[in-house]
Amino acid sequence: MTSLPMIPIAPTTSAAARRAALPPRHLADLDLPGRQAAVTELGEAGFRARQLSTHYFGRLVRDPARMTDLPAGVRDRLADALLPTLLTPVREVACDDGATRKAVWRLHDGSLVESVLMGYSDRVTVCISSQAGCGMACPFCATGQAGLTRNLSTAEIVDQAVHLAGVAASGVVTGAPARLSHVVFMGMGEPLANYSRVVAAVRRLCAPAPEGLGLSQRHITVSTVGLVPAMRRLADEGLSVTLALSLHAPDDELRDELVPVNQRWKVAEVLDAAWDYAERTGRRVSIEYAMIRDVNDQPWRADLLGRLLAGRLAHVNLIPLNPTPGSRWDASPKPVEREFVRRLRAAGVSTTVRDTRGRDIDGACGQLAAAAVTQ
C-alpha cells in the first residue's frame, strides 16, 4: 500500500473556490415564513409565496407561463426573484432498461454536479449531491480524486430532488411508481461537511407541500465518512433520517488509508457516535462497506466487523467496488463476497449486498466525478 493521503479535516478549499459566488437566492433556501417575507419585500401580497411554493413543490412546475393563477406581471417578477435557474441540464443518460437515469447539471458558476434517479417496483429513489467535488480524498472514490470545489446551497441540493421528482412524475422510469419517495445523500460530496445546508435541505424535502416536497423523514438517508462531531449534532436535530456510515474497514490501520478522515476520528469513536445516533433516533444505522479484492475482504476482517456490530442497531450494506478511472483496485470475487456475508450473518449481523445500479453510465457509488463530461 502507498503512503497515506493528506488528512482532509478542514475541507481543502482553494482560494478560487472560496471566491466562488453563491448562487442566487431561491425559494427552496427559505421556509414558508421566509418566502412570505421575501414576497412582501417585493411589494406583493404574502399569500403569493404559498401559490409560488405550490407550483414548485406541489405541482413540480417552475415555468412562470404555467402559473395561471398568478397575474402575468406578478408571475415574472416573483419567478425572477425566487425561482432563478440553479441547475442547467448538461446531459441525462439512462441505463438498466430505463430504470436508472443519471443527470449532470451545470451550476451558475460552471461547476458540474450529478444526481441519479433509481426506480424499483415499490419505490423511486434519488441520489443527490451535497457538494461540487469532495474534500475527503477516499482513494477508491472518483469524486474524491478532484478535491472540493464548493458547498452547494440548500436550494441547489433540494432542486436536484425536485427536478428528478418531475422526471419520475412524467412516467419515464420503467417499472416504478411515478412518485419520488426516497432520497439518499450519496452523490458527490460529504453531506456532513456542508452541515447546515444539508439539514435545511432535509427539512425542506420533508416539510409537507407547499412548504416542501412532503417526503417521509424515514425515507431519507444521509451518508457520511464519519465526521464525529457532526454525527453527534445530527442526533440532536430531532430528525428520523437514516444515517449511513461509510466504514469500509473494521481496523484503524486499513481505514486510515481507505477513509483518510479516520486519521482524525478512529473506528471506535465513529462507531460510538453511530450507536448514539441509533439510540437517540431509534433508527438502524447503515454500515457501508465497499468490497475491495485482497484489501478489505479477508475472512478475519469479516469476523472483526461482526464482533464490532453484533447486538447493535445496524445493517451492513456491502457494495461491490465499482470501477473508477485509474484505480488499482478491483471488486472482490463473488465467492469471497459470499463468505464475507456468511460470516457477518453468522455473527448475527443483518447484511445485504447492494445492487450496482448505474454502473454503465458511471452513475454508481463512487463513480460520480462529472469530469468526463464533454461540454
Q: Which residues bind ligand SAH (CB under 6 A)?
A: 136, 138, 140-141, 186, 190, 223-225, 246, 288, 290, 319, 321-322, 324, 365-366
Q: β-strand 242-246 against 220-224: which pairing, if any?
A: parallel
Q: How far is the CB of 316 from ligand SAH (least distance, A)?
A: 12
Q: How far is the CB of 192 from ligand SAH (least distance, A)?
A: 8
Q: How far is the CB of 83 from ligand SAH (least distance, A)?
A: 28
Distances from the Cα of 280 to the Cαs of 103, 222, 231, 275, in angstroms? 35, 16, 11, 9
With left for phi above 0 and alpha for psi between -120 and 50, is residue 44 left, alpha or beta? Answer: beta
Closer CB to ligand SAH, 210 or 358, in the complex = 358
The Cα 158–Cα 28 span in angstroms is 7
Give yes or no for a contact between 214 and 233, defined as CB atoms under 8 angstroms apart: no
Closer CB to ligand SAH, 27 or 235, in the complex = 235
- Our answer to whether residue 95 is catalytic in this structure is no
Q: In the Cβ-directed half-sphere of 256, how many Cα atoms lie within 13 Å? A: 10
The set of cell numbers assigned to 299 is 475472512
Q: How far is the CB of 85 from ligand SAH (least distance, A)?
A: 26
**Residue 173, C-beta contacts closer than 8 angstroms, at least 6 positions apart:** 98, 99, 101, 117, 119, 124, 167
Instruction: Tell me which amino acid residue 310 is.
Output: A
Closer CB to ligand SAH, 81 or 138, in the complex = 138
Closer CB to ligand SAH, 155 or 290, in the complex = 290
The set of cell numbers assigned to 346 is 453468522
Q: How far is the CB of 370 from ligand SAH (least distance, A)?
A: 14
Q: How many residues does the chain have?
A: 375
The Cα 206–Cα 203 span in angstroms is 5
Question: H or E element: which one contains 143?
Answer: helix 142-145
Question: What's the first-to-final CA gap in the chain, in angstroms?
Answer: 36
Which residue is nearest to ligand SAH, using beta carbons? 366
- Our answer to whether residue 206 is catalytic in this structure is no
Closer CB to ligand SAH, 79 or 308, in the complex = 308
The catalytically annotated residue of 138, 141, 206, 365 is 365
Mind giving me the DSSP string for 66-102? G-TTS-HHHHHHHHHHH-----EEEEEEEEGGGTEEE
The catalytically annotated residue of 114, 190, 257, 288 is 114
Give yes or no for a contact between 328 and 293, defined as CB atoms under 8 angstroms apart: no
Closer CB to ligand SAH, 52 or 318, in the complex = 318
Q: How far is the CB of 367 from ligand SAH (least distance, A)?
A: 6
Catalytic residues: 114, 365
